[in-house]
Copies of this chain bind each other. A is one copy, B any other.
Amino acid sequence: MLWVESQAMSDVSAKRKPTIRQIAAQAGVSRSTVSRVINGGHWVSPDARQAVEEAILATGYTANHHARSLATGRAGSLAFLLTEPQQLLFDDPTFALLLRGAAEALAQRSMTLVLLVAGTPAERESVAQFLSAGHVDGVMLISSHESDPLLDQLIDVGIPTVCCGLPLGHERELSTISVDEVASARTMAAHLVAQGHRRIGMITGPDDTPGGRYRLVGFREELGEQFDETLVEVGDYSYESGQAAMTRLLEHDVDAVFAASDRMAAGAIAAARRAGRRVPEDIAIAGFDDSGLAATHEPPITTMRQPWDQISAKMVAVLLEVIAGASPRSVILDTELVVRESA
């Protein structure tokens, strides 16, 4: 009876995860030494280190994240924060690329990615509370509307933050990873001009987003005298808004259109065809992002490629720097013109 009980108990303890004390006992050293080995191993004798490493290997020991976080004050995780009111960002294939890249970059550092959605006001509130509670070490903010109230909250809370895209008006306080919007737009505009197009229209994004504002700036700069204010329409990056904008542009007899997103370009192509125009024969239509959609679209869309993998990798890298104490900094990455069939 007694034997059965102790048998059962030893089964339980065998199944239970080993703690640092068990490793210490097995290796014949103190907890402190085990801890040192785990964290870099400075000031540990070769003998002790080896004994500890063998014990760890033998037991399959893994440190308890929660205990470590409690003791160190570091969470060991970063938040991936989505703030678009609608599910705009979820329709957007680009977000998935960023998410995947960020998750992988974190996994490599044995940190975790916590997904936070702050769409509704209620959600924003609970997210703000979550963040100020210190449950994560830093935030990757995926939103570029400058009016975003969450930006101020993040600055208030003082939590290390990196934004994707330019957070207009907050360049000093927050780190940002972005592409050179102006130069990218100039490149595409130059391409369209070089193709011999004269009446080139543009479908921009909202003016309170960097992509909406600066791609237009670059477009205007490059066209110079040729620039025609009446050939500019505003969209919201969605397929539908691209369709609507194109429908309006068709009344102005354009021979080329530069859309600020691939999805708007796809919508524009659909609208152009519905109006009986061929793409690219009658109208050339180019996009922006190279979001996967562009390559498989019919016809394949000429676009500016955003370096999504670099963007996500840099977001993580810069954010970790800031967490480690560095000052906020901004990184600007290059885009690449990808010529396909639509323009």
Interface, chain A (partner B; CB < 8 A) = 17, 62, 64-67, 69-70, 75, 77, 80, 87, 90-91, 93, 95-97, 99-100, 103-104, 107, 110, 112-117, 123, 126-127, 129-130, 132-135, 239-240, 267, 270, 273-274, 292, 296, 298
Query: Which among B104, B130, B239, B240 is the interface contact of A117 at CB below 8 angstroms?
Result: B104
> Within 8 Å CB of A17, what residues of B?
133-134
A116–B133 alpha-carbon span in the complex (Å): 23
Interfacial chain B residues near A240, Cβ < 8 Å: 296
Interface of A, secondary structure class, is helix
Number of copies: 2
CA distance A126 to B62 in the complex (A): 12
Question: What residues of chain B lie closer than 8 Å to A66, measured between beta carbons?
Answer: 65-67, 69-70, 75
A101 to B117, CA, bound (A): 10
Tell me if B96 and A90 are in contact (CB < 8 A).
yes
A133 touches B65 (CB 8 A): yes
The 6 A-B residue pairs with the shortest CB-CB distance in the complex, in nearest-first order: A66-B69, A62-B133, A90-B96, A270-B298, A66-B70, A113-B115
Residue of B at shortest CB range from A240?
B296
- Which of chain B's residues have a CB closer than 8 A to the CB of A135? 65, 112
The answer on a CB contact under 8 Å between B90 and A100 is yes
Whether B62 pairs with A129 at a CB distance below 8 angstroms is yes
Look across to chain B and name the residue whose beta carbon is closest to the beta carbon of A89.
B96
Q: What are 21 A-B interface contacts by the 8 Å CB criterion?
A: A17-B134, A67-B70, A77-B114, A90-B93, A90-B96, A90-B97, A90-B99, A90-B100, A91-B93, A91-B96, A93-B93, A96-B96, A107-B116, A107-B117, A107-B127, A110-B126, A113-B114, A114-B115, A239-B296, A240-B296, A274-B298
